Structure 1
Amino acid sequence: MAGPLCIITGVGDATGSATVRKFISQGYRVAMIARSADRLQALADQHPGAQAYACDISDLHTFETCLTRIEAEMGVPRVLVHNAVSHSFGRFRELDPLEIERNFRVNTTALLVFARFFADKMAASGGGAILATGNTASHRGVPNYALFAPTKAAQRNLCEALARDLGPEGIHVCYLSVDAAIDVTWLGASDAERPSWLVPPADWPHAREDFFAHPDGIAAEIYHFTHQHRTTWSFETTIRPFAEEW
């Protein structure tokens, strides 16, 4: 098997797919995990070196079975990217409390399972990197993220604990916060169907595409972050479009 292995969860049509393309372009083999078998297979057909593994990681037993299969077929990874996300948008009175448990399971518990499954093997093979993609919900709670933000805060805290634990073993654990909207189709095909935060304001003075964080740009940062020199590792980086207000 030629080239190191990267495993990516949450391979959708935006950041996940862009990250697959970036790692493939750098000589990696990529194991792609998501629920949509058809989308994954279409991507695998376009990129030799990428393999599709359809899996709902909210089922932790199924997720571990999937990881066992990946290891058997592709080996021990050099990089893990946890891009899968479960989200609920709405105020706490509006949503089913059980949604916070599903969000936590995908965003945080699945990351723990991911890291536990491979950490010792990665350390024994010379180290590597584990990255989770997050957002500013990991730092603040707002009303519409009441059942989402707590799970992203826990995800970030877990990453920090892993970073302190695994760093001396040669495994760089890091958190990439994307403080921006990403133009993803699953949140609506048109501006009229999308949440307000995914629509440029009427007085936006720049090109519409500049309102969004481009998936290829995010993927480039994921690759850079997971390949920092071991004497200059950073734990967390926040990225945002040049015109984003913050």
Structure 2
Amino acid sequence: MTLPYRTALIVGAGPGISASVARRLAGAGLKVGLASRDIDKLAALAEETGAARYAVDATDAAAVADLFARADAEIGAPDVVLYNASGRIRGPIADIDPEAVRQAIAVSAFGGFLVMQQAVRRMLPHRLGAILLTGASASVKGYANSSAFAMGKFALRGLAQSAARELAPQGIHVAHFVIDGGVRSEHRADPDDRPDSSLDPDAIAQSYLDVLRQPRSAWSWEIELRPWLEHF
């Protein structure tokens, strides 16, 4: 089944999940835009996928509006948007810097709202589009010394649930992905005695595209992904 979409914008792009999704979307024939604070790190991926690159601070409303305006002009208004950015800091509640917490929540949650708002404004007239939000174990489980990350990811999940109920009847598919486990990378390989003990980013990307192919009579608003050895 081919995707019913033409253009995708990935915010918070980098190696791992977003890179794998970018490759899959480009392989499916979509024009792809990659947005990040640091676009230099996206050069190889952009060359591989033919994607456009955009520098953006996702926590700045004016910057996000400008990002979408640039994407509109260069690749076309995106009808698939993936928000993959997050702010992660650790520390005891008694000691953690409040300003660092504010920024982490802004990246994980407020940025997701800003990106979703711009996406929805473009999708509503056509009653077509998909907005994908990358969550984590912390979306549903608050761990010790990880309060800021949990607050941000809980908020992003709340945004996804509310938006799915509001926007599904208007033709916009909103889906949240709980990535419940470590994601494999060149710096984080599986031990020889525990193969597939981490999540393969290409396998995650396949699940993202499977959701994009869902008939609207059976849309998922949330998918939880974990390696087969991860505890529930």
Q: TM-score normalized by structure 2?
A: 0.91
Q: How many matched pairs?
A: 228
- Which stretches of structure 1, 4 residues or longer, exceed 6 Å deviation after superposition? none
Q: 1:183 to 1:90 in 2, by over 3 A?
A: farther
Query: Match for residue 234 of structure 1?
Result: 220
Residues 211-237 of structure 1 deviation map (CA, whole Å, 9 limit, x = unaligned): 210110111111111221100001111
How far has the Cα of 1:118 moved from its partner?
2.2
Q: How does 1:22-171 map to 2 (within 5 A)?
A: 22-48=24-50, 50-171=51-172
Instruction: Provide the C-alpha distance between the structure 1 equivalents of 2:93 and 2:211, rounded to a whole number of angstroms.
Output: 35
Gaps of 5+ in 1: 192-198
Report the 3-state secondary structure (helix = DSSP H, G, I; strand = E; otherwise coil) of the residue aligned with 1:43.
helix
Q: 1:225 to 1:10 in 2, by over 3 A?
A: same
The counterpart of 1:16, out of the listed 15, 18, 23, is 18
The counterpart of 2:206, out of the listed 220, 225, 229, is 220
Instruction: Name the % identity.
Output: 30
Query: Match for residue 196 of structure 1?
Result: none
How far has the Cα of 1:121 moved from its partner?
2.1
How far has the Cα of 1:39 moved from its partner?
1.9
Instruction: Provide the C-alpha distance between the structure 2 equivalents of 1:206 and 1:41, rounded to a whole number of angstroms.
Output: 33
Q: 1:133 to 1:190 in 2, by over 3 A?
A: closer
> What is the CA RMSD across the aligned residues, in angstroms?
1.9
Q: Is residue 2:181 matched to residue 1:206?
A: no
Gaps of 5+ in 2: none
How far has the Cα of 1:90 moved from its partner?
2.3
Instruction: Provide the C-alpha distance between the structure 2 equivalents of 1:222 and 1:69, rounded to a whole number of angstroms.
Output: 25
Q: 1:115 to 1:190 in 2, by over 3 A?
A: closer
How far has the Cα of 1:108 moved from its partner?
1.2
How far has the Cα of 1:75 moved from its partner?
1.7
Instruction: Provide the C-alpha distance between the structure 1 equivalents of 2:44 and 2:38, rounded to a whole number of angstroms.
Output: 10
Tell me which amino acid in the other structure corresponds to 1:213.
L
Report the 3-state secondary structure (helix = DSSP H, G, I; strand = E; otherwise coil) of the residue aligned with 1:6.
strand
Query: Match for residue 195 of structure 1?
Result: none
Tell me which amino acid in the other structure corresponds to 1:172.
H
Deviates more, 1:93-102 or 1:20-29: 93-102
Q: 1:60 to 1:184 in 2, by over 3 A?
A: farther
Report the 3-state secondary structure (helix = DSSP H, G, I; strand = E; otherwise coil) of the residue aligned with 1:107.
helix
Report the 3-state secondary structure (helix = DSSP H, G, I; strand = E; otherwise coil) of the residue aligned with 1:112.
helix
How far has the Cα of 1:142 moved from its partner?
1.7
Q: Is the 8 A contact 1:178 1:239 kept in 2?
A: yes
The counterpart of 2:6, out of the listed 4, 13, 25, is 4
Q: 1:120 to 1:57 in 2, by over 3 A?
A: closer
Instruction: Provide the C-alpha distance between the structure 1 equivalents of 2:54 and 2:43, rounded to a whole number of angstroms.
Output: 9
Q: TM-score normalized by structure 1?
A: 0.86
Q: 1:183 to 1:68 in 2, by over 3 A?
A: same
Query: Match for residue 231 of structure 2?
Result: 245
Residues 89-143 of structure 1 deviation map (CA, whole Å, 9 limit, x = unaligned): 2221232111221122111111111121121321222411111010121112121
Q: Is the 8 A contact 1:123 1:169 kept in 2?
A: yes
Q: Is the 8 A contact 1:130 1:226 kept in 2?
A: no
